[in-house]
Amino acid sequence: MNIETQSCVIIGKQQVSVAPQQVEWNGQGTLVRITRGGICGSDLHYYQEGKVGSFEVKMPMILGHEVIGYVVESDNPQLKPDQKVAVNPSKPCGTCKYCQRDQHNQCTSMRFFGSAMYVPHVDGGFTQFKVVDSSQCVPFPQDADETVMVFAEPLAVCIHATHQAGDLRGKHVFISGVGPIGCLIAAAAKARGAASIVCSDISERSLSMAKQMGATDVIHAAEGDFTPYLADKGYFDVAFEASGHPSSLQRCLDVVCAKGTLVQVGMGGAIPDFPIMALIAKEIHLVGSFRFTHEFNTAVEWLASGIVNPLPLFSGEYALQDVDAALQFAGDKTRAAKVQLTF
Ligand SMILES: [Zn+2]
Ligand SMILES: [Zn+2]
């Protein structure tokens, strides 16, 4: 069976179009009618620069990895037609050494939606119909708010980041950079029992979003007084760097206590003068965080049950035909946080 689908295709820098394509359904996997998707920082990078880091768009690729929809047909009898599902955008190989260790986000041949990491690129989810592995479909209740459920993927990233820091119960947490990811880390840290969550940013708008998402206090990154957090080699047990700026990493190293943990979530370039002495002298545990594993299912559960309400981050929605306008709006950080597309 062949189905026509309209897709948001990126061709190169600032070149995105809506194109008709054919989807072939041969009875394997699950055919999903995608209904809604969220625009992520990586989609914006592909649009604004034609690349994310060193992954350059070299051929037309369907954008998007934060999508939900409903089942049309499936090879899994558990997935009945019309069942609503959040689509996990990661498809690990299942056999490499990391997959065998249950570290699927480190899979050496990961197929991740809307990624130009490999050639040919892996198409994303900004399309009306898509065939996925049935294991990528995570069902959620029919009456759940779809605008909320689209946050499953970024929330999964943030729950994973908090897992990188271990048990957060009773801990004092600092988050530097509160765009959507920093804010969702605040929400996840709150859900995991942090005693206090202090968020820092240069944007007042972002700070007020962070307050709505679970921050117990906020401080302006440039104008705030950090002195109280510097005493005794630093106040916080855990710091999350979620902006990717070198100055933000320095701030995290300053305010995290000796023997504390610093989780690097923000993606940035090289840091020419990495403050390595602070890391050594305070014996800080520096740990990266990349994507997620089983946290995707946790995120779906938390959103469906209301443990996390992401709606303060929702800035508006566009029909797929207006993907260009949606990407431009989403790229304007003075006005938009999370923008969604409907298919
Ligand atoms: Zn994302
Ligand atoms: Zn693998």
In whole angstroms, give the CA distance from residue 153 to residue 342. Answer: 17
Q: Which pLDDT band holds residue 272 (cuts at 50, 70, 90)?
A: confident
What would you measure as the largest C-alpha separation in the chain, in angstroms? 67
pLDDT for residue 268: 78
In whole angstroms, give the CA distance from residue 114 to residue 125. Answer: 7
Residue 41 C-alpha to ligand 1 middle, in angstroms? Answer: 7
pLDDT per residue as tens digits for the range 305-337: 999 999 999 999 999 999 999 999 999 989 999
In whole angstroms, give the CA distance from residue 74 to residue 65. Answer: 20
Residue 110 C-alpha to ligand 2 middle, in angstroms? Answer: 6
What is the arithmetic mean of pLDDT over 245-255? Answer: 94
Q: Which of 29, 27, 45, 38 is nearest to 65 (CA)?
A: 38
Ligand nearest to the backbone CA of 267: 1
List the Cα angle 240/246/252 in 5-degree steps: 35
pLDDT for residue 196: 98
> Which regions of 84-149 does DSSP assign to beta strands (E)?
84-87, 90-91, 111-112, 129-132, 137-139
Q: What is the bridge-based pairing of β-strands 236-241 and 256-264?
A: parallel
Question: What DSSP letter does each residue of 207-248 carry, written as one string?
Answer: HHHHHHTT-SEEEETTTS--HHHHGGG-SEEEEEE-S--HHH
Residues 6 or more apart whose Cβ sits within 8 Å of residue 296: 86, 88, 90, 138, 152, 153, 156
Residue 311 C-alpha to ligand 1 middle, in angstroms? Answer: 16
What is the arithmetic mean of pLDDT over 35-42? Answer: 96
Residue 218 C-alpha to ligand 1 middle, in angstroms? Answer: 24
Q: Which pLDDT band holds residue 130 (cuts at 50, 70, 90)?
A: very high
Q: Are the beta carbons of 120 and 37 closer than 8 angstroms? A: no
- Is the pLDDT confidence value at 269 over 80? no
Q: Which of 279, 297, 268, 286 is nearest to 181 (CA)?
A: 268
Using CA atoms, how far residue 131 sits from 60, 92, 112, 251, in Å, is 18, 16, 14, 44
- Is the pLDDT confidence value at 267 over 90? no
In whole angstroms, give the CA distance from residue 65 to residue 38. Answer: 8
For the chain, the average pLDDT equals 96
Ligand nearest to the backbone CA of 293: 2
Residue 133 C-alpha to ligand 1 middle, in angstroms? Answer: 19
- Tell me the chain's radius of gyration from C-alpha atoms: 20
Residue 81 C-alpha to ligand 2 middle, in angstroms? Answer: 30
Using CA atoms, how far residue 151 sits from 161, 196, 202, 316, 342, in Å, is 15, 24, 24, 13, 14
Residue 111 C-alpha to ligand 2 middle, in angstroms? Answer: 9
Residue 147 C-alpha to ligand 1 middle, in angstroms? Answer: 15
Dihedral sign (CA 299, 305, 310, 311): positive
Domains of the chain: 2-151+310-342 (3.90.180.10), 155-288 (3.40.50.720)
- Is the pLDDT confidence value at 339 over 80? yes
Residues, CB-to-ion distance under 5 Å, ligand 2: 92-93, 96, 99, 107
pLDDT for residue 53: 81
pLDDT for residue 306: 97
pLDDT for residue 54: 84
pLDDT per residue as tens digits for the range 56-69: 999 999 999 999 99
pLDDT for residue 292: 97
The structure tokens 């459920």 sit at 149
Ligand nearest to the backbone CA of 155: 1
Q: Are the beta carbons of 4 and 22 closer than 8 angstroms? A: yes
pLDDT for residue 271: 82
Ligand nearest to the backbone CA of 93: 2
pLDDT for residue 309: 98
Phi, psi of 325 (to 5 degrees): -60, -40
pLDDT for residue 270: 79
Ligand nearest to the backbone CA of 102: 2
111 burial class (0-12, 13-18, 19+ CB within 10 angstroms)? middle
pLDDT per residue as tens digits for the range 81-112: 999 999 999 999 999 999 999 999 999 999 99
State what percent of residues in the chain have pLDDT above 70: 100
Ligand nearest to the backbone CA of 104: 2
Residue 226 C-alpha to ligand 2 middle, in angstroms? Answer: 43
Ligand nearest to the backbone CA of 181: 1
Q: Which pLDDT band holds residue 259 (cuts at 50, 70, 90)?
A: very high
Q: Residue 121 carries which DSSP code? A: P
Ligand nearest to the backbone CA of 157: 1
Residue 293 C-alpha to ligand 1 middle, in angstroms? Answer: 14
- Is the pLDDT confidence value at 338 over 80? yes
Ligand nearest to the backbone CA of 38: 1
- Is the pLDDT confidence value at 217 over 90? yes
Whether residue 120 is preceded by a cis peptide bond, meaning omega within 30 degrees of 0, is yes
